[in-house]
Structure formats: C-alpha cells, structure tokens
Structure 1
C-alpha cells in the first residue's frame, strides 16, 4: 500500500533547476511522482507552475521525501496551520522543531500566512500572538521557556529567490556562480554598478575583510571606499584591525613593508607594539582622537562613523580592546549587523565570511573574492542564490573596484 501527497512548485522553476532537482530527489529517495498539472511561462518574465503527486511505499519514506522537497521550495498543495509547541526550558527546543533554511519563509497561523522575520539558516521559528501575530527566527541559545516553537513541516512555505532568464539591472549578473576565467575588469565594473545601485536605493553595503587585504597592499583603497561611503559597515577579526593599525604606525603589515616588500628590522614585533599602543590609549577611537592613529581603514571607520564589529578568536594576540572576545556576544553583534546589510562583500576571509553568511537571508546580494577557488566555492555553496564569486588576488580586486566606483 502506497501513501501520497500533492506538492506544488511555483516561480522560475525551470531556469532555477528547481523542477529537475525535485524530480531527482523523489527518485533518489525511493519515491515516484506524477505531474498532475504543468503550466509553463511563455515569456521570459512569466513564472511556471507544477502540481505533483508524490508517492512512497510508507509514511516514513514519504516524509523524508517531502522534507527534502521542502528545502527546494516545493510546498504542500493543501496547507494546514503550522504546529506549535512550547519550549520546555531556556535554550531547549521541542523535539522535531523546524530548523530554518535561509530562504524567505512563511508560517500559516489561524488560516493566514505570516512572513518569518529576520530570516537566517539553522534557527527555530517563534510565533507570538499579542493581538498582532508575528513569526520570527531565534537561535537556539536565545530560546526562552514558553516560547511557541514551530515543529514539523506542516503549514510552512519556503520561497527560494527566483532566477528568471532575463535578469536585468545592475544585479542581473549575480547568477553565474564561480569562475576564475570570467573577465575581471568587466565583472568588477558590474560589481561597482551593483554597489552604486544599492546606495541609490538607500541600502547598506557590508564589507567582511581578512588580513590578506592589508598584507596585499589594498589598505588605502579600502580606506577610500569607507571614507567615500561605498562601504557602510565593516566586519572583521582582531588581526585585520591590528595589521591595519600596524601599517599606520610602523609602515608594515606583519613586519613587511607592503610597498617595497622589505622585511623591516624587528618587524615581527610591530603588530604586538601596535596592539600595546592601542591598549595604552584605551581603544581605537581614543587612539584616533589623540592622533596616534592617522590613517587606514579603522581610522576612516571612526572618522566617518562607520560601525564595525571585530570578532575575536582563540589565536588572537592582545587582543585590541575593541575586539569582542565572548563568542556568543560576537555572534549576536555579527547577526545584528548582517540583518542591516543589503549587499555584502566577502574579501579574503573564509571564517568570518562563513560567520556572516550564516546570518544572511538568501535574498541578500553577496560578492565573494579570494585567491583560493575552494574558499569561494565553499562560501557560495552555503545557500545564497543571489551571489557571485571571483577567484582573484584581493590586492588587485579592491584597487580596481575603487577605480571603477570613481
């Protein structure tokens, strides 16, 4: 005896590969399907619709198939209200709670669809009804006893970003994945156009930067982007800020002159000297105000009121007083910053880019740049549909981007 359920696919399901991946998922997991209705969009801007009858030999297999289909954006044809259970204790979610994707998600509550706020992956969904019902995500360590948590997958609709054939505007190019052979100048020109469009629309650009940006000599160009308002927020680690400040105080980055590539005498001590000077001043802002720090990315952040988050790690020297050393506190600061971003530049830092990427909805535009192809691929594979990757030297990319923006 077989069991079955109807699901629907809507949007640009052919161009995005949603239909193909759904068919493959059903067959790979031991099920079968019948296409009961299929309406194909006849023009580039028209969406398509498909209704499938999914069958399996038992309920467990069917639920496994439906779970995977749900991640691709296939939704039940006959939605019911979502199931809610109260959290039994702080930081404890009910068994079988719904773990979110990073795609736009809706919860059916009292017969109406509620959009889930602050969308990000690997969270629980909390539903409140204080007169005006709302649904929003919570990380597990923020769950409080009594929170009404969505469980199972009934009454949940996931809408992955569409990928129409005709993608116009400055963001139209951000659908091509990763390529080391894509012409760098033309791609950088399009990225510059996307930044300008974001700014014209009142959006915010977040730069996630690694120390390699300073080591490669791109410091002055990144400082220029911050000063001129092309970058609104900065997310980095202790090392990025340390070497940026070291360059200002001693003319080196990790003891190396970034212009001549000469190793300065006792240069290996410069970074720890830089940290001690900032600690002596009481922080980066105080060091800027006193005139100790006179240039660089952190200097421009202070002078132009660009907020930054420096998240620490176990390997940090010092660290700087501005570095957040509590992991949960740092994660919350990154999350708050990421939710404000409309476009994110991930520049030669795998770990911080992954941290920020975990907090982003799939609708946020993302540009990943690194000299290592596997880094770019790993970042884009984390689920952002609106992303582009460039495999190139960050010391070449940032100056060219600054030039295009000017």
Structure 2
C-alpha cells in the first residue's frame, strides 16, 4: 500500500467558545528584543488567533517564539532577539479559545474507540518492539524523498562505524536527505575516516588504534583549514566516500554549528550560536521529516525549532520527528523539552542506519 499522509481535521469555529470569544489582544513592542508583558509563547502545535472576528492559523510555529501580526494580516513567529520596535505581539496565556487564542493538538489524531485505557509497556523503552516503526519509516522516507524535505540531525557516532557511515552516505546519494544539521565533530571524524580510516583515532572497521592515531582528527582539521574549504580538501585529498563527500557531491546543505568544546574547527563551522541557529532554522521550518541520531543537545535544539505541522501546497500536513539513541534517557529528553510528537527508537544508530539502507537503497 502506498504511503498516505493523514488528513488534517480543522477546528469547528462555529461552535462555542469560539463564536463568542473576543479578538486576541495585541500589544506593541516598545524595546527591541523585548516582548510585552503577558506575551503568548508558542508551542510546536497549530495555533489559531482570533483577529477582526476571524480565526487565523499561524503559518508556522516554533516553540517559545512569540506571534507577531504583520501588516498583510499574517501571523509570523518571531524569536525574542528578533523583535523590533512597533511589532504587534499577541498577548495572553490561556490556550482554550477564551482569549482569542487556541492551541490545537488533535488535528491529525485518530481516536480508536476500541483501544484500552490501560495497557502494559505503553511507553518507549529498550523493551519496545520497533518492527512496525521501521516499516512505517521505510514507507515514509520513500514518500518524502520526492514529496517532502528530510532533515537529518547527526552526532559523531554515525561515523564511528564503517557500515553505518557507508549506509548514510548511500542514503544521501539516493536522495533520502535534503539537509544535514551537525557539529564540528561529525564532519571532522567523517573526513578523518575517509583520509585515515579512523574516527577519533580508532579504525572504523576493526576498532584498532594505530600508533599516533589520536593525532588524525587534528591533522584532518589542519589540512581542511589549509585547504580553506571542505570542497577543496576533498578534491585535494581525492576523498571519494563519506557523509561530507556525499553531501557536497549531491548539493545537500550541510549546516555545522559551533560548540565551545570544538577544536579547530573545520572551515564551514559557524562559530556564532545565533547565526548557527538561524541557518538551522532555515531547514527546520521546511522540514517534513526530522531524523535525529545520537546527539542529545543538537536533537533538543533542532526539535524545539521544528513544528508538528507545515502548510504545503495549500494543505496542512504533519511533520514527522524521529529520535534514535541507545540511551532511553536521551530519547526521552526531547519529549521532556516539549517536542511531544516524536517517535523514539532505543537502539544504536549503526544498526538503525544499516536497516534503513538495506531496505531503501
């Protein structure tokens, strides 16, 4: 059966309390970068605001952003740091419609009357059976390759194993990635593997540590900085495999956000955290599927910037978020930070990527 997106069920604003609800209140920004008192902070869900008697859906969302009414009647989601004097910010802290603000979490949700209220193992853990999740993900990615925007969020563990590195490279080459968000370490160790066969000094296949191999990632960074760009490095060193190579060859955007712990870093790493956030947001706001692998902090950052829905070709469709990590704590952390519409798989990313490659490529 071909993959089908679930239909979005719009709220019935002809019913109460929506009909008699007042228009949402608006307060003008008086100081750049500072929201008015009682500002409304957005979630990842579709949110509607009553303005001039009509309920308007924010065209996108972003957790902890604030809704700003623009002169064309649209509602834009803006971070505090991007607020400008005279911006019209919607204020109010209730979410049930009584203040002209309605947070709608059930647009894609089906309610099965036959399901039990109580069931064992309803959470996600190392005991969870993931076969159905894999099958659904295969169908989803086959659909998204041509109809969506797949964003990968990668930690360095994806390149520590020979097979997983090859698997993800193949997935990129076959069109299953439209953007990649990562840090200095992932790209460094991927290129280190291409040049030296090691990642953080350890052979990616047999896990041996050759003499002085702990210098490899530093030598790689030094070579990259001398080359001036990763594209030049790849050409100069005749690199022909790996995630960075496949991204550049297939023109897949690779956004590398800097960290205070970075060494080097590689030339394209963005050292300004807010500039990095802006570059990541360009892709999370277009994402239809987000897949986060073994990177807790980067996952939370990207997940919080990714809404649960997107308006595409005039329709509202869900955004699918996956979080894969060997630690239950790590996968649950994203849910704890508010990204409730996430599918979690407790497994190592090496097995996960090889499964995807074997079933998609």
TM-score normalised by length of structure 1: 0.76
Q: Count matched residues.
A: 327
DSSP 3-state at the match of 2:202: coil
Who is 2:320 aligned against? Answer: 365
Who is 2:77 aligned against? Answer: 137
Who is 1:228 aligned against? Answer: 174
Which gives a bigger RCO, structure 1 or 2 (Cα 8 Å, sep 6+)?
2
Preserved CA contact (<8 Å) 1:189 1:401: no
User: Could you say if the C-alpha distance between residues 214 and 95 of structure 1 is closer, same or farther in structure 2, counting changes exceeding 3 Å?
Assistant: same
CA distance in 2, matches of 1:256, 1:75: 62
* Structure 1 vs Structure 2 CA RMSD: 2.3
DSSP 3-state at the match of 2:180: strand
> Does residue 210 in structure 1 map to residue 210 in structure 2?
no
Matched ranges for 1:47-58 at <5 A: none
> Does residue 245 in structure 1 map to residue 191 in structure 2?
yes
Q: After TM superposition, give the deviation of residue 357 of structure 1 in Å.
A: 0.6
CA distance in 2, matches of 1:297, 1:189: 24
> Does residue 401 in structure 1 map to residue 346 in structure 2?
no
Q: After TM superposition, give the deviation of residue 303 of structure 1 in Å.
A: 0.3
Who is 1:109 aligned against? Answer: 51
What whole-Å deviation, never above 9, does each CA across 1:169-188 have from its counterpart, x for those lacking one?
xxxxxxx7523233344432
Who is 1:85 aligned against? Answer: 27
Preserved CA contact (<8 Å) 1:288 1:302: no
Preserved CA contact (<8 Å) 2:23 2:52: yes
Preserved CA contact (<8 Å) 1:75 1:157: no
Who is 1:70 aligned against? Answer: none
TM-score normalised by length of structure 2: 0.85
What whole-Å deviation, never above 9, does each CA across 1:304-337 have from its counterpart, x for those lacking one?
0001110010000101110000011011111111
CA distance in 2, matches of 1:96, 1:391: 39
Who is 2:69 aligned against? Answer: 127
Gaps of 5+ in 2: 1-7, 94-98, 113-121, 310-318
DSSP 3-state at the match of 1:79: coil
Q: After TM superposition, give the deviation of residue 207 of structure 1 in Å.
A: 0.7
Who is 1:256 aligned against? Answer: 202
CA distance in 2, matches of 1:163, 1:108: 23
Who is 2:127 aligned against? Answer: 181
Who is 1:347 aligned against? Answer: 293
Q: After TM superposition, give the deviation of residue 113 of structure 1 in Å.
A: 1.7
User: Could you say if the C-alpha distance between residues 83 and 212 of structure 1 is closer, same or farther in structure 2, counting changes exceeding 3 Å?
Assistant: same
CA distance in 1, matches of 2:261, 2:254: 20
CA distance in 2, matches of 1:230, 1:94: 42
Q: After TM superposition, give the deviation of residue 77 of structure 1 in Å.
A: 6.5
Q: After TM superposition, give the deviation of residue 381 of structure 1 in Å.
A: 3.4
CA distance in 1, matches of 2:73, 2:332: 39
- From 311, 314, 317, the equivalent of 2:260 is 314
Q: After TM superposition, give the deviation of residue 151 of structure 1 in Å.
A: 1.1
- From 151, 176, 197, the equivalent of 2:91 is 151
Preserved CA contact (<8 Å) 1:177 1:380: no
Who is 2:225 aligned against? Answer: 279
